[in-house]
Structure 1
Amino acid sequence: MIEDYIQLVDVIFDTDFEKTSVFLFDLEKYIYVRMGSVIKLPLDVGTILPATSTSLECLQTGNKVQRMVGAEILGISYTGVAYPIRENGVIIGGIAVTGSTERESSLRKLPSLSKNLSESLQQVAAAIENIAASAQALADGGQALTIQSQEVNDKAFAMGEVVEYINSVASDTKVLGLNASIEAARAGEVGRGFAVVATEIRTMAISSATSAKDIRKIIGGIQGLVGKMTIELEKVGGNTQEVSAAVEEIGATIETLAESAIELAALVENI
């Protein structure tokens, strides 16, 4: 009796975790239906075998019938397979199974997708390494500029000392020029030529003192700018170091993902 195969239907249904639909039918109709969670056909117990079904075709041909059905009918593609059941060489009915082909299709695509993902991640990892190297180079350059700016500041300080010396010399020269003018005046007509020289010396001393004052202001401005530049460079250097560390961490994460993608591809090939 065809009803004796009901337990077989349950076994098939449970084996695929209730996803596959399984039908038991006699020569006219479906007598037992276990509708899966993925493919839901409009078939119930008592439904007459459709004229275009694999169930009826397997009864007519006496052979297994397998048919691919596109997603245009149920919104998802699936495979239908029907097997005739014989007793004493006589067909008394059959079992039909319908299962989604999406999983098989996904499994076929998964290796290539995993490979593409792995290659993309490797490319990103390489780009991250370049960025990290550039960030480190920028940090090193900023540190070098900081050192150089400090050297400039030291040179400016040394120039300030030189200017102070020039200013001191100019002051002394001015006094000497004044004393020379006094002595020239005492000498009368004899010291007239010397008085002219003394006046020029005083003029040069005053000019030198004025120039030294201007140079001192310029050096002060340079020192102020260098100080600000040093502070900004130190900030940039600190930020760049943080960026470099963050990029290296991202690179390590991407490398881990790339390794996982490779392992996934290997696992898929073994499925």
Structure 2
Amino acid sequence: MIEDYIQIVDVIYDTDFGKTSVFLFDLEKFIYIRMGSIIVLPLKAGDILAPTTTSYQCLQTGEKVQRHVGAESLGVAYTGVAYPIRENGVIIGGIATTGSNEREYALEKLPDLAKELSDSLEQVSAAIENIAASAQSLADGGQALTVQAQEVNEKALQMEEVVEYINSVASDTKVLGLNASIEASRAGDVGRGFAVVASEIRAMAISSATSAKDIRKIIGGIQGLVGNMTAELEKVGGNTQEVSAAVEEIGATVESLSDSAKALSDLASNL
């Protein structure tokens, strides 16, 4: 009798850990059903076999009937298979199963997905290398600017020495002009023309001293700007080095992911 095959239904159901649905039917109706967790059909024991089912068709043909059903029906693509059961050459019923096609679909897509992942990681790796190169170039440029700023500061110090010398000369000239004015006044009318020259010398000395003072202020401003620029460049250089280190770390991670993607692709090709 067909009921003798109920244990086989349980074995098939348990073998797939309750995922596959298994149906036992006689010549008219389903007599025992173990509904799986993935494909849940609106069937129960006692339901009459519909002509559109694989169960009914296998009874009519006496052969295995297999049908693939798209995901539009239950949201999950699945395959239904029905086998007739014979006793003494006579068909007394059959067993049908329905199993999800998601695994097969995933296995079909896995190689392509693995390749896409590998290609994407290669592009990311190339982009990271470019970023690292740009960051290093920026760091090198900042270092070069820092050196040039130091050179400007050294030149400013040299200019300060020159200004100091001009200031000293202006001071001495002023004293000489004052002495010349005194001597010209002592000479009376004879030294009157020399007094005019002495006055002009004193005026030039005062003007030179004033100019030297202005130049010193300008040099001080340049030194301040150079100092600020150097400090900012040092900050940029430090940040750039941190960026380079972070990019290198990301690059190592991407390289590890690329190796994993390649291993996944090799595994998929062997499935």
User: When the two structures are superposed, what TM-score results if normalisation uses the length of structure 2?
Assistant: 0.94
Distance 2:72 2:177 in 1: 111
Shift of 1:58: 0.4
Alignment partner, residue 46 of structure 2: 46
Distance 1:197 1:121 in 2: 85
Structure 1 gap segments, 5+ residues each: none
Distance 1:110 1:70 in 2: 19
Asked whether 1:57 is paired with 2:57, we answer yes
Amino acid at match of 2:142: G
Distance 2:91 2:174 in 1: 134
Asked whether 1:245 is paired with 2:245, we answer yes
Shift of 1:203: 1.8
Residues 1-271 of structure 1: matches in 2 within 5 Å? 1-271=1-271
1:197-232 CA-partner distances (Å, limit 9, x unpaired): 222222211111111000001001111111111111
Amino acid at match of 1:262: K
Amino acid at match of 2:10: D
Q: In structure 2, the residue corresponding to 1:44 is in which secondary structure?
A: coil
1:27-84 CA-partner distances (Å, limit 9, x unpaired): 1122221111000112222222112110010010011111122223222221111111
Amino acid at match of 1:169: V
Shift of 1:8: 2.4
Deviates more, 1:117-126 or 1:186-195: 186-195
User: When the two structures are superposed, what TM-score results if normalisation uses the length of structure 1?
Assistant: 0.94
Instruction: Report how many aligned residue pairs link the two structures.
Output: 271
Distance 2:19 2:270 in 1: 23
Distance 1:17 1:44 in 2: 20
Q: In structure 2, the residue corresponding to 1:151 is in which secondary structure?
A: helix
Distance 1:198 1:190 in 2: 14
Q: In structure 2, the residue corresponding to 1:27 is in which secondary structure?
A: coil
Amino acid at match of 1:166: I
Amino acid at match of 1:53: T
Shift of 1:171: 0.4
Shift of 1:160: 0.9
Distance 1:268 1:92 in 2: 43
Shift of 1:247: 1.3
Shift of 1:6: 2.4
Distance 2:24 2:266 in 1: 39
Distance 1:72 1:197 in 2: 111
Shift of 1:102: 2.1
Distance 1:120 1:242 in 2: 25
Distance 1:251 1:7 in 2: 57
Structure 2 gap segments, 5+ residues each: none
Shift of 1:26: 1.5
Shift of 1:23: 1.0
